[in-house]
């Protein structure tokens, strides 16, 4: 009676049904009809509002519970048998203890609801790093988002067959429908959120939240936390990175992957509309990148997702015209504002919102109210859209081999110190730059905004094992002389001047920085050695047609001596907090950083 004979799935489903007591079970097939039926159901329940078909055909908006608007890192756990395998940066609980605690929460948690079985595959058919998972969830909102975000449904069940293995992902919003309790538009249990990972048994148990990375378990939970754990022993990398193809005016092709912490510019860089004539940028991915060694010794990267779950606020025709076009139809918006005309809206979007706007909390205000316009959309409001709707999607984005990387870019949000761009002196220096990446915090996770924190490789919230072992794993790639490794760069689009304004125009102008990187990769130009690596010489960044002066550019290319020296202390302190296992090469790189900082004038 079920559309599968997969033994593991059938056994596990039985256990979950016994524990959670759903009213019914539904196997997702991934069809368009299924998407339409479920979105209709979500409209009936008040989770979705259908947007005006004239404005944005086949699109919906959801307002979440105000307590459930982002990932909750405090409530995210890596449950390995030994605490040291989770490391100093992850929350840890013994797996047995965690399962006992969670079993209490999951007991009866799906009463009155449908349990959806969502089989998904991360990675294109034929990819050597493809990972299967099945999410059992009581959230129809999750299912429709998964339709866009992952390859899912009947085909995946067929690929799994009777004996195929997969990650078991159990998810409940934690809002059972008992007789005396009506449903709400965004069911959740914010006081009891647990996003728990069991990497050794390839499982995720997520309770209490319906939002983003907490609930779409294929994404951060499987494709980053579980996958990074697996990648360590299988000698590949699962990274929080964008993936882009750059074609130069002379037709040279370079692929770049880029790790930036959440809400620090991956989507925008990946989809960039380059300002320089003759340059072309095509997107392969905007959030997750799996990197493995190809037969020719180069590193090949694959995006395991099929959609984009991007930050809405700040997106507009100037900053990201490509995605604006992509989200003009068949898009799910979460926590943006809603206009008088029944369209999604956020501050900065050029569209006329009409005379009133409903904000993400559901209260209506006159659109002339400039203060309220700023908070019409939550800072972590998002769009969900299929990758294939992007006009500059690279045609080979689903190539199972992946694409060979010329460069890896690290970037954080730093209002001072870190130069606009630098080129790592070596792989180990690049790993040092990745390991010390820091950023001012954003709204992508619950907590304060704008506080500087170390976010190594943009993986602080997503590394499924001990961070120092992760550093060692990265360093290991330089051990074999058979590998042709990409060059590593560090960027900072967010340096501010004394008046607190961004100095670099960013977005489509970032092509000017990529152009410099390609010159460096090709070995055609020199550079100035600094603690952060090689930075551009005088006129090597093309600023023709920009408002920025050479003096201003130089002000964001240099590193201040005092600040660099205090950075040394902060990094030392950070490494100490990671425990005794920080690789020696990185400690050596820190000494070199200090020497170079001391020599700055």
How far, in Å, CA of 535 to CA of 518, rounded? 13
Backbone angles phi, psi at 340, to 5 degrees: -55, -30
For residue 12, the minimal CB distance to ligand GTP (Å) is: 30
Which residue, 487 or 509, has its beta carbon nearer to ligand GTP? Answer: 509
Using CB under 6 A as the criterion, which residues of the chain lie in contact with ligand SPV when the complex forms? 71, 212-213, 219-220, 262, 287, 309, 444
Told to check if 342 binds ligand GTP by CB under 6 A, we report: no
By a kind-dependent CB cut-off of 5 to 8 A, residue 220 interacts, out of Mn ion, ligand SPV, ligand GTP, none, with ligand SPV
Which residues contact residue 206 at a Cβ distance below 8 angstroms, ignoring those fewer than 6 apart?
169, 170, 171, 172, 194, 195, 196, 214, 215, 217, 221
Give the closest residue to 482 by CA, choosing from 216, 294, 231: 294
How far, in Å, CA of 379 to CA of 31, rounded? 32
Which residue, 262 or 322, has its beta carbon nearer to Mn ion? Answer: 262
From the list 264, 289, 463, 558, the catalytic residue is 264
- Token pair of 417, please? 């110190």
Told to check if 400 binds ligand GTP by CB under 6 A, we report: no
For residue 220, the minimal CB distance to ligand SPV (Å) is: 5
For residue 549, the minimal CB distance to ligand GTP (Å) is: 18
Which residue, 20 or 242, has its beta carbon nearer to ligand GTP? Answer: 242
Told to check if 289 binds ligand GTP by CB under 6 A, we report: no
Give the closest residue to 118 by CA, choosing from 40, 1, 13: 13
By a kind-dependent CB cut-off of 5 to 8 A, residue 219 interacts, out of Mn ion, ligand GTP, ligand SPV, none, with ligand SPV
For residue 262, the minimal CB distance to ligand GTP (Å) is: 4
Q: Which position among 287, 305, 330, 455 is part of the footprint of ligand GTP (CB under 6 A)? A: 287
By a kind-dependent CB cut-off of 5 to 8 A, residue 171 interacts, out of Mn ion, ligand SPV, ligand GTP, none, with none
How far, in Å, CA of 409 to CA of 405, rounded? 11
By a kind-dependent CB cut-off of 5 to 8 A, residue 286 interacts, out of ligand GTP, Mn ion, ligand SPV, none, with ligand GTP
How far, in Å, CA of 376 to CA of 227, rounded? 36
Which residue, 287 or 343, has its beta carbon nearer to ligand SPV? Answer: 287
For residue 210, the minimal CB distance to ligand GTP (Å) is: 17
Interface of this chain with ligand GTP, residues 72 to 101, rule: CB under 6 A = none
By a kind-dependent CB cut-off of 5 to 8 A, residue 71 interacts, out of Mn ion, ligand GTP, ligand SPV, none, with ligand SPV
For residue 484, the minimal CB distance to ligand GTP (Å) is: 28
Which residue, 119 or 508, has its beta carbon nearer to ligand GTP? Answer: 508
Q: Which position among 56, 230, 266, 423 is part of the footprint of ligand GTP (CB under 6 A)? A: 266
Told to check if 265 binds ligand GTP by CB under 6 A, we report: yes
For 355-444, strand residue ranges (E) read 356-358, 364-366, 382-386, 403-411, 421-423, 438-440
- Token pair of 397, please? 């984005």
Told to check if 275 binds ligand GTP by CB under 6 A, we report: no
Scanning 422-489, the segments in alpha helix (DSSP H) are 427-435, 467-476
How far, in Å, CA of 233 to CA of 218, rounded? 20
The answer to whether residues 257 and 405 touch, using CB atoms and an 8 Å cutoff, is yes
Which residue, 266 or 512, has its beta carbon nearer to ligand GTP? Answer: 266
For 530-573, give the DSSP string.
ETTEEE--TT-S--TT-S--HHHHHHHHS--HHHHHHHHHHHHH
- Token pair of 411, please? 């970037």
Which residue, 428 or 439, has its beta carbon nearer to ligand GTP? Answer: 439
Interface of this chain with ligand GTP, residues 503 to 542, rule: CB under 6 A = 506-507, 510
The answer to whether residues 394 and 387 touch, using CB atoms and an 8 Å cutoff, is no
Q: Which position among 263, 472, 518, 590 is part of the footprint of ligand GTP (CB under 6 A)? A: 263
CB atoms within 10 A of CB 576: 11
Cα angle: 165, vertex 170, 176; to 5 degrees: 150
Helix (H/G/I), strand (E/B), else coil: 30:
coil
The helix (run of H) or strand (run of E) holding residue 77 is strand 76-78
How far, in Å, CA of 335 to CA of 359, rounded? 8
Helix (H/G/I), strand (E/B), else coil: 330:
coil
For residue 546, the minimal CB distance to ligand GTP (Å) is: 13
For residue 71, the minimal CB distance to ligand SPV (Å) is: 5
Task: Count residues near ligand GTP (CB under 6 A).
Answer: 22
- Token pair of 396, please? 């080979």
The helix (run of H) or strand (run of E) holding residue 267 is helix 266-270
Which residue, 262 or 564, has its beta carbon nearer to ligand SPV? Answer: 262
Told to check if 502 binds ligand GTP by CB under 6 A, we report: yes
Using CB under 5 A as the criterion, which residues of the chain lie in contact with Mn ion when the complex forms? 262, 287
Told to check if 136 binds ligand GTP by CB under 6 A, we report: no
Residue 28 is among the residues annotated as catalytic for this protein: no
Binding-site ranges for ligand GTP (CB under 6 A): 260, 262-268, 286-287, 310-311, 313-314, 319, 444, 493-494, 502, 506-507, 510
Active site residues: 264
């Amino acid at each position: 009676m079920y559309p599968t004979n997969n033994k593991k799935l059938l056994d596990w489903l039985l256990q979950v049904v016994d524990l959670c007591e759903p009213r019914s079970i539904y196997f997702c097939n991934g069809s368009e009809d299924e998407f339409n039926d479920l979105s209709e159901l979500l409209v009936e329940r008040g989770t979705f509002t259908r947007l005006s078909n004239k404005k944005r055909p086949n699109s919906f908006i959801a307002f979440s519970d105000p307590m459930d608007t982002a990932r909750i890192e405090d409530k995210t756990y890596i449950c390995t048998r030994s605490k040291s395998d989770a490391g100093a940066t992850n929350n840890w609980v013994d797996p047995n203890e965690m399962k006992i605690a969670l079993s209490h929460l999951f007991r009866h948690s799906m009463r009155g609801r449908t349990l959806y079985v969502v089989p998904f595959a991360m990675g294109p058919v034929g990819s050597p790093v493809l990972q299967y998972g099945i999410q059992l969830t009581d959230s129809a909102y999750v299912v429709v988002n998964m339709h866009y975000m992952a390859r899912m449904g009947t085909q995946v069940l067929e690929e799994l067959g009777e004996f195929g293995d997969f990650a078991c992902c159990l998810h409940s919003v934690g809002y059972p429908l008992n007789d005396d309790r009506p449903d709400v538009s965004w069911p959740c249990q914010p006081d009891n959120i647990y996003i728990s990972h069991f990497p050794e048994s390839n499982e995720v148990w997520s309770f209490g939240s319906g939002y983003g990375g907490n609930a779409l378990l294929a994404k951060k939970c499987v494709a980053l936390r579980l996958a990074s754990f697996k990648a360590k022993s299988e000698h590949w990398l699962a990274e929080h990175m964008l993936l882009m193809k750059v074609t130069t005016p002379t037709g040279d092709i370079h692929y770049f992957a880029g790790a930036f912490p959440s809400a620090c510019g991956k989507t925008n860089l990946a989809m960039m509309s380059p300002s320089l004539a003759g340059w072309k940028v095509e997107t392969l991915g905007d959030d997750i990148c799996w990197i493995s060694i190809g037969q020719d010794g180069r590193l090949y990267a694959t995006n395991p997702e099929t959609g984009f779950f991007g930050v809405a606020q700040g997106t507009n025709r100037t900053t990201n015209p490509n995605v604006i076009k992509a989200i003009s139809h068949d898009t799910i918006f979460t926590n943006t504002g809603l206009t008088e005309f029944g369209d999604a809206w956020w501050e900065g979007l050029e569209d006329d919102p009409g005379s009133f706007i409903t904000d993400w909390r559901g209260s209506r205000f006159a659109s002339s109210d400039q203060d309220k316009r700023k908070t019409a959309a939550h800072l972590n409001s998002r769009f969900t859209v299929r990758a294939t709707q992007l006009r500059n999607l690279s045609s080979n984005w689903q190539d199972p081999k992946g694409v060979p990387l010329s460069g890896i870019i690290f970037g954080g949000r730093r209002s001072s110190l870190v130069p606009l761009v630098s080129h790592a002196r070596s792989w180990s220096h690049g790993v040092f730059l990745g390991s010390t990446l820091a950023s001012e915090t954003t709204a992508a996770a619950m907590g304060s905004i704008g506080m500087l924190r170390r976010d190594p490789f943009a993986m602080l919230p997503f590394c499924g094992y001990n961070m120092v072992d992760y550093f060692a794993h990265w360093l290991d790639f330089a051990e074999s002389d058979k590998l042709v490794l990409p060059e590593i760069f560090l960027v900072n689009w967010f340096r501010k001047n004394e008046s607190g304004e961004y100095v670099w125009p960013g977005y489509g102008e970032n092509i000017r920085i990529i152009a410099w990187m390609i010159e460096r990769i090709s070995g055609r130009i020199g550079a100035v050695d600094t603690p952060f690596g090689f930075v551009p010489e005088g006129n090597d960044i093309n600023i023709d047609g920009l408002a920025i002066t050479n003096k201003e550019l130089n002000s964001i290319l240099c590193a201040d001596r005092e600040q660099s020296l205090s950075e040394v202390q902060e990094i030392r302190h950070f490494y100490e907090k990671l425990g005794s296992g920080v690789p020696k090469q990185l400690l050596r790189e820190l000494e070199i950083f200090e020497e170079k900082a001391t020599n700055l004038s």
